[in-house]
Chain A
């Protein structure tokens, strides 16, 4: 970190500002600069705190995300630290070895960043645009539905089902994602529709 930045961070904090001024007043100008350069800025001073819950198990421990930048102000935000929420009645601030390492799953090297396609028989993924990916998916789904949709069963009863395509819904997503998924998928008549409750 360059000195400029360190010094700015150093002086921004009220206590450090006073200390800086005091040192300056005693005529230790150079010392002050050196001292400022030596101190790492306290990361959490200028972060935004956000309440969230651990993504793993259903103990659902409360956590606090610390970010550089504030999404609520329309800024981009980078999460720099995650800790247990000590006001949370269940975990009271504690986290297990999974919750304690949440930051490195947010920043995992294997996070996905772009839509990709692996073409039939190919040995690699290639980048593809969102539009192209979504159009491809919807084309296959519609063609299959149009071909295999069962409106009436053999007895002539209206059954309106589609059983040749399916979806597995996530189980760490929100209720709200679940409901959107339910509406979109069930309205097609899809039956092979399941979640992770069993495994």
Chain B
């Protein structure tokens, strides 16, 4: 989230699209209700189903899953055509005026530089024209034929209400009603918030779904203001934190990246990470990258990381491919190329697409280790459960070790909520049996591995032998020790340049903020964005002061919000070019002639003059990007692409299948249903229920009672066509697998008309499996396709094709 749950109270319009907050984030959704009750805010829901959020909405519009970009580009087109643009914001705070290089074009669904063989672009032309002064060229009138604004206008012109209806199935009048409500938020005193979740991410163009809404929010002037923003509701309790700490195949903590094979040493790696400002005076905060990186390396390898060895840069692995994401890992497993796989509190057999492929992969491992507080299907993938898991147990040679871990109630530490609050929590119970904390398990693995390398030698032991392990009990690092490392500490005294007798930084102290980090090895910091969370003043994450001065929703002394305890990102954009709040009743920051004052920690230097420095300090431009340059693999502007399994061809580019640059493994392509396949005529989508959390709560008796049994949802029309009774059995199958389910026949789902064709929607909740207290049932991933988003490989769980028939149910029931 750019904002926070409690900030939603400040909005005028909530758009829930790509999520279902009332169902999946109920206690956060309360802030939508507050805004409605106290400010007269309106709620719009756009979704294939009339869902729980829709049931309390002021306006609901249906949409076919996988067509959100067409809808959102339609909204941008509407705003541009009807002069519903917050002009002052767009002109000064976005790259609308920037000129794009000559040679950049878009035609028939593709941009310049496409290579069909590689399924990739040469992105050289997706850049700004650089002027004689070395900065990006701009035309403040926005009229230049190659200005971002002109190009965007041309790009979205085709997305008329008629085209939106053809692609999305949203009736024209409903689309226009949404467009009208949304466009009103171009007023500087009206704000819209976007609430989205996996309904947007789990597509082969998920990143662009989100980007399109972010562009709309920039055009409306809604980023950086109270009640506005792009608000990813997020999933698991600490998925934000795990991502912040960089537990992704290509990441370092704090949104830095691992080097690739093309970056042989630190100098080469840093040569593309200079982040020189693209406009005069801009902050371009990533210019500090080297400080964050070196401080991270110091936290990894302590005294062994020296200037002579590039601070251990070579001890980090380099990538030969963009990602070793979950899909690639299971592909490698299936090819027999993986030996051991560790699952820490994770149930991939349920969570990843194409269950049959997952079983095949796990069966080829030598060792599977599962660390979990609970039983999981993954730990028992080798166990035969009839139709629910029909495996040949004796033939599976994988050894499986299952390790019991503590659960949240027995564990201490911080979780990061969707609003970036790091909230410390304390243990209240003794773990059952021999259950151990994950930190202990990790320490044991490290210490034993290190001991073996000491005694036996082996492949490149240096990074393991030198790993900085300064804990009082090496076998059990405490949460406090670990969190202090992440906050960062001073390794060596730094004299004050003004008075060498004094110390600027004193060895052994915690850093106060990331501004103190240095690139000469005198500071260490595990995750620079967490700097300030555990300082010499103590554990800021443990703060529990719920005072909220002037009821802004900021709660500045409750826990700690990264970065720098800032509650709303890009908050300088809440004021105009002169530093006056756009909306005085929703003041966040204000320039008082000397400095920025207000309710939040400013994200630009407190004394940065308003006309000089742009609000988007992480961007080299200093402004928000309507044109993404070469930063997105699938285009600097979003384009409507159909899902890989689609009931209709792409009407704007019939030759393009799915997202043209999404990575697809050969075997998986063979397992996709054809476009508009008569064999798989129905458009399926998967989702969550409020009574369950993924695959855990089926272990919980109460939740198992509340939602005991797997079902699918279909419309009354489809039920009639297929002779399905309410509550009767159906069989649903895709090109990858088949499930039996009870049918919920509902008015909440209606057939849609797309490009003249009737499309039936099949809704599939995800929560069942073969272990736990609930009835055995099928997980949705028996059906889902094995393909991910072109930029970050999130699987396409939200849009795929199935067939369906009335059934007498599985024989064994």
Contact = CB atoms under 8 A, between A and B. Distances in A.
Given A105-B699, A159-B318, A115 B401 contact: yes
Interface in B399-440: 399-405, 407-409, 411-418, 421-423, 425-430, 432-439
A69 to B, nearest CB: 7
B445 A58 contact: no
B188 to A, nearest CB: 28
A11 interface: no
Interface stretch (B107-115, B459-467, B658-666): B459-467
Given A123-B394, A195-B346, A197-B243, 17 more contacts: A58-B239, A92-B30, A101-B697, A110-B699, A117-B400, A122-B393, A134-B444, A134-B445, A160-B316, A160-B317, A165-B340, A174-B238, A175-B422, A184-B445, A184-B446, A189-B317, A198-B202
Nearest to B437: A177
Interface string A100-137: 11101110111111111111111101001010011111
Contacts of B401: 115-118, 128, 133, 136-137
A194 interface: yes
A26 interface: no
Nearest to A78: B429
Nearest to A107: B432
Contact of A171 (B341, B346, B452, B482): B346
Interface string B333-373: 00001111111111010011000000000000011010111
A29 interface: no
Interface size class of B (residues with CB under 8 A): 35 or more
The 3 tightest CB contacts between A and B, nearest first, are A113-B433, A174-B413, A170-B345
Interface in A139-193: 139-142, 144-149, 151, 153, 155, 157-184, 186-193
A171 B435 CA distance: 18
Contacts of A171: 235-239, 242, 345-346
A48 interface: yes
A25 interface: no
A151 B459 contact: yes
A177 B210 CA distance: 30
A95 interface: yes
A58 B236 CA distance: 6
Contacts of B244: 175
B483 interface: yes
A55 B460 contact: no
Interface string A62-106: 100111010100001111001000011111101111111110111
A192 B249 contact: yes
Interface string B484-526: 0110000000000000000000000000000000000000001
Contacts of A197: 235, 239, 242-243, 248, 794
8 contacts: A53-B237, A53-B415, A59-B417, A89-B546, A115-B403, A119-B399, A170-B346, A196-B236
Contacts of A177: 411, 413, 437-439, 442, 482
A91 B345 contact: no
Contacts of A165: 338-342
Contacts of B398: 120
A81 to B, nearest CB: 10
Interface stretch (B97-105, B126-134, B323-331, B669-677): B323-331
Interface stretch (B20-28, B71-79, B625-633): B20-28
Contacts of A14: none
A60 interface: yes
Contacts of A46: none
A57 interface: yes
Contact of B383 (A62, A123, A191): A123
Interface of A: 48, 50-62, 65-67, 69, 71, 76-79, 82, 87-92, 94-102, 104-106, 108-123, 125, 128, 130, 133-142, 144-149, 151, 153, 155, 157-184, 186-199
Contacts of A95: 27
B201 interface: yes
B614 interface: no
A174 B411 contact: yes
Contact of B402 (A97, A116, A151): A116
A76 to B, nearest CB: 4
Contact of B27 (A78, A91, A166, A191): A91
B342 A198 contact: no
A175 B238 contact: yes
A192 B530 contact: no
B445 A141 contact: yes
A122 B369 CA distance: 16
Interface in B369-385: 369, 371-375, 382-384
Contact of A105 (B417, B458, B526, B697): B697
A58 B237 CA distance: 4
Contacts of A76: 430
Contacts of B797: 199
Contacts of B374: 105, 108, 110-112
Contacts of B400: 117-118, 125
Given A87-B546, A160-B318, A198 B338 contact: no
Contacts of A88: 546
Contacts of A146: 458-459
Contacts of A67: 428-429
Nearest to A93: B27
B449 A138 contact: yes
Contacts of A53: 237, 408, 415, 417, 423, 425
Contacts of A170: 242, 344-346, 371, 438
B243 A194 contact: no
B570 interface: no
A194 B438 contact: no
A148 B340 CA distance: 12
